[in-house]
Amino acid sequence: MILSDKRIKELLACGDLAVTPLEQQQLQPASIDLRLGTSYAKVDEHNLTHLNLDTPPQYEKLEMACLILPPRQFILATTKEYIKLPNNLTAFVEGRSSIGRMGLFIQNAGWVDPGFEGEITLELFNANNLPLKLDAGRRICQLVLAEMDQAALNPYQGKYQGQKKATGSRVFLDSEVQSKG
């Protein structure tokens, strides 16, 4: 069941759900708007010949209040907010329609597991032929919360738990890669 603004307020008030910092205007009828942070990571394409799922990619890390995303370019970004989900809530990260209509594709694999805590790393792609200016603090996506039928038996404790700043892929830590070694 998708949570209403009323239920989200109750969970925030009692501390079962944490989203910080949070301003009242970010609360929507069935979601919480999340804002763009100042941390970015871009694959260091000048020093790599290819990407390999079995080895850590190299990233250029950037900290800035304003970024110009060139046409047809991909970058990782982070939310300003740090979230903490209880073990009985899951969440979906969706781009805001108004931003999508400007050609910015926003993704984060779309799903946040129960028990996750950290800043959300967003995958941004500018589908335009024009550069797109991104300013920190702008509402960029929305967190849609859903209550599970019961608390997770094994809440999230994965490789992105507690992440802060734009966090690159850690797919090389997957169990099937580790079992090869």
Positions annotated as catalytic residues are 123
Amino acid residing at 23: E
Whole-number Å distance between alpha carbons of 68 and 52: 27
β-strand pairing of 74-84 with 31-43:
antiparallel
Whole-number Å distance between alpha carbons of 68 and 131: 6
Q: How many helices (H) and strands (E) does the chain have?
A: 3, 12
